[in-house]
Structures are given as structure tokens and as C-alpha cells.
Amino acid sequence: MASTSVAAEAARRRTFAVISHPDAGKSTITEALALHAHVIGEAGAVHGKGGRKAVVSDWMAMEQQRGISITSAVLQFSYRDCVVNLLDTPGHADFSEDTYRVLTAVDCAVMLLDAAKGLEPQTLKLFEVCRHRRIPVITFINKWDRPGLDALELLDEIETRIGMKPTPLTWPVGVAGEFHGVIDRRDDHMVHFERTPGGTRAAIEEHLDVDEARRRYGADFDRAAEEVELLAASDATHDQKLFVDAVTTPVLFGAAVANFGVRQLLDVLIDHAPPPSPQPDEADEPRSLEAPFSGFVFKIQANMNPAHRDQVAFLRVCSGRFERGMVVTHATSGRPFTTKYAQSMFGASRDTIDEAFPGDVIGLVNATNLGIGDSLYLERPVRFPALPSYAPEHFATIRTDDTSKAKRFRRGITQLDAEGVVQVLHSQARGEHSPVLAAVGPMQFEVAAHRLRTEFNVPVTVDNLPYTLARRTDADGAKSLVSAPGVEVFTRLRDDAILAAFPNRWRLQTITSDLPNVLLEPLLADASDR
């Protein structure tokens, strides 16, 4: 295929992540977008109420039981003339590491805000990652069908707290909780939404001219129209270049659970979200979209289908045309890798894919030799930047008392480490039968224990340890620290890094003072530090 065709196919791709604080409606809007693209016929509910299914992106049993996203998911579908790669991310802070990896693989982000709560801590943290990576952000103010904050106050909060100028593309008619519809600033008409029974299908839309909107909604419409004029006077108008440069954020209003405003969001993503651009390698040299095939693995997931017990490597295509069955080079080992089992992803559902282009996310099945951050390429060598691990803040031992399942236990622990669910640490004092798990948040331990029980049929016990921070050291430092009270030295399974764990910053400061020549190097504490 000619290189111009690769460029044309890349221009049709829109690859974006949905980010938010927990309970802002992230998985609900993910499903609503798929509904409006006509790739599912009926939306579920997060908790599967009323006999309805759970959201398609929350495929793990634990997610469906708790009604939260605890692992990222990919939904690929077509809309208009574009191929959409939608990445749903965990909202809970305990799974920040998974979300960060997803954000390395996208070209745009949708920041979801709860109309009643505005910018919340986890939203701000994820936005900082987007800012650091210069990822353009579209803001969707959700739950406008419920009581909430004033629309202008929300815009002021966005500009004040994140330093990005909001430029609304739609504007609500009616205060939060009395949602009649939106004024679409792109063509100055009003869209009235009517909810379908149960909210399981796309909302009915009615387009109204100014006279009809004013006749129906009177003072509410007049107020909205005056606010739209105020926005224009304050230069809060969309500018594509400023948006792509991550200076401004287009804003839309809606209610995902009722499917209000979702089609407008999907159209804005197609019309304004940037297509893939050349991905910089580890030397910060961009690799042309038309260069031979290349991509990097940003996620590993096993047992998505318990019947098959397989492992899937999620790969972002960065350049060239991918063809199933092609033999590429694994940059880390230099060995050939055959891509015989390649699939497109839609939550837990998968279909064989024969070709893919820059921006696409594909699943490589049974790719047990691949790890998170690994690069693959054809012909022209390339290695994309490594994906760092967050600094752990929680530590716990994990063990099984069923000695007959010791081998299965070790296999499960290795798998969880490969996926990045937790960091697995070993120490000579504890032995391999009692590894230590390190994590950003304690819920990661719950996920690890749940998966060992359900996927590997291994009963486990988790006991918390008193450590709250870790530092990287070396072999000489380990010898000096091994006898220091209140400190424990571990070797990390995934990369053999030597880590020293401390109960608090006071103890770390004391050790630093007492042993000034010992290497104690900070680990990545937050993706925004990069």
C-alpha cells in the first residue's frame, strides 16, 4: 500500500481516553458513545439494575459487582468516516498507574466533570498528566439533569484551577436539574432532548430555531442566550490551533445516563480531536507516520476470557501499516515476533483484525514474551520511551496456605506483576513463598487477591506492612541498609531494581543523615513529575 494511503488512513483515526474522578459517570459515557455510534443497541447500567447488563467496558467480574472501573478497556468502532479507538480508564486513584499508561497511547482526552462537584482531586491529577504530555482535552460537564453548580461558575473554576481557557461549544438551557437542552454555538440553534424509556437508547433530539426555543422556554432560553453572548464577548470561542496546543478546552454539557448531549460530544471528537501525529522515540526524534510499521505495548491483560486463559498485549500502532501475520522485531530482545493472533478490541469482545494503521489499538494474543513498554518494529529500528512505574505507597505480604497450589500461586503472582496490577518484591529474609506486593493504593491488593482466587483458584491471605514510601538503592546500599531498624530491602521482580522501604519520611531522613553515602534515589511519585 502506498505511503499516502497510510497517511490517509491515519487521518481517519481518533484515539482518545476518558478521564475523571470516580463516580463522575465515565463508564456510562463510554457506553453512551458506543450507543450513539450504533455499535450497541442498548445501554446497560453500571450496576446492571433492572435486569440490564453492566457497561461493556467493565468486563471484569469485580468491576460489575462494585460498579467501578478497575482496569482500562479498549472499544474500537466506526463512526461517520472515522475509526474510533476509545480507551476507558480506571477513575479510582489507586489505579493511577494503569491510567497513566493509557494516556501514553492516546492523542486526546475527554475530561468528565460532575456538574455538582466540579473539579475533584483525581480529575486534577489526571489533567496534570495530560498537561505534561500536551494532550488536548475536551471537557464534558455531566449530570446536568441533576441539581448542580452554576455553568459560568464551573467555567471559572476550570480556568482558575487548571489554567486552561474553556471555550463552550454547547451551552445549557435551564439550570442544573432543569435541563431542557443546549444551544449549539456552532450553528446557533437549540437542541431539545427527550429521554427514551429507561434511558437505554439514544435520546430523541428536536432542533429548534430561536423563536420556537424562546416560545417554549421563555426566561430559561433568554438567560442562556445572554450567557452565550457574554461568552462571545469574553473571547471564549473555539480556536482549533489553541485547542490542539492544549491552551484551551472545548466544553459541552449533557447527561450521559440519559444520553443527553452525547451525540454532540461524539461529533466534536470526530470534527476537532487531532488525528495521530508522529510519535517521538526514546531519543525524542519523531517517527514518521509513513515509516515502516512500529508500535509499543502499553498494557498487558490476562484471562479476559476465562474459557481461553490467554494473555493479550495492547499495542498502539505508531507508524506504517500493520498486517496480521507479519514478522516484526522485538526491540528489547532483538528477536523476531510473529503477529499471527491479532485482534480488534471491544471491551471483552474481540475479533480478528487483518490490518491496522497509526492510532489504532490492537490486541496481540498469547504474546507472553512482550512486556509493558516494549516496542515492536519492521525494517527500521525504533524504541519508544519506557513507561515508568509509580512509587508505591502501600506494601503487603501475600501467601497461600494451600501448599498443593504453590506452583499456581507463583504463576499467578508473576502474571499480575507482568500486567502491572501490582509491583512484586522479594527479599532473602522472607523467601519466594511470601512475596511482598507494592502498590499506589490498597485497592490494588484487593484486585490481586480477587484475581488469584477467581482466575487461578488459589486462596490467599494479604497482610499489610508498615511501609509508606520507597527509594531505589544499589548493592552497596543494600548491605548498609539490611541491618538498619525500620527499613527493609527488596528486589523488584520486573526489573531487578533494589528498593528500600521506609515507614515514614522521618525514618528516611534519619537514615539519610546517618548514612550519607548510601544511594537513596526517589522513584517516580507521580506521572506529572516527568
pLDDT at 48: 37
pLDDT at 54: 43
Find out whether 332 and 374 touch, Cβ atoms under 8 Å. Answer: yes
Supply the DSSP string of 74-136, one letter for each residue.
EEEEEETTEEEEEEE---SGGGHHHHHHHHTT-SEEEEEEETTTBS-HHHHHHHHHHHHHT--
Going through 276-392 in order, the beta strands assigned E by DSSP cover: 279-280, 286-287, 294-302, 311-319, 322-323, 327-330, 336-338, 342-346, 349-352, 355-356, 361-365, 375-377
For residue 60, the 8-state DSSP code is S
137 residue type, one letter: V
pLDDT at 59: 43
pLDDT in tens, the chain (530 residues): 444 599 999 999 999 999 888 888 888 898 889 888 878 765 553 333 333 444 444 444 544 454 444 456 788 999 999 999 999 877 555 556 777 888 899 999 999 999 999 998 878 878 888 888 899 999 999 999 999 999 999 999 999 999 999 999 999 999 999 999 999 999 889 999 998 876 678 889 999 999 999 999 999 999 999 999 999 999 999 999 999 999 999 999 999 999 999 999 999 999 999 999 999 999 999 999 999 999 999 998 876 666 656 789 999 999 999 999 999 999 999 999 999 999 988 866 788 999 999 999 999 988 888 989 999 999 999 999 988 777 899 999 999 989 899 999 999 999 888 888 889 999 988 877 889 999 988 888 998 999 899 888 999 999 999 999 999 999 999 999 998 999 999 999 988 999 999 999 999 999 999 999 999 999 864 333 33
42 residue type, one letter: E
Domains and CATH numbers, the chain: 17-71+90-98+107-272 (3.40.50.300), 279-377 (2.40.30.10), 394-529 (3.30.70.3280)
Strands 137-142 and 394-399: unpaired
Q: How many CB atoms lie within 10 A of CB 415?
A: 20
- What's the pTM value of the predicted model, to 2 decimals? 0.84
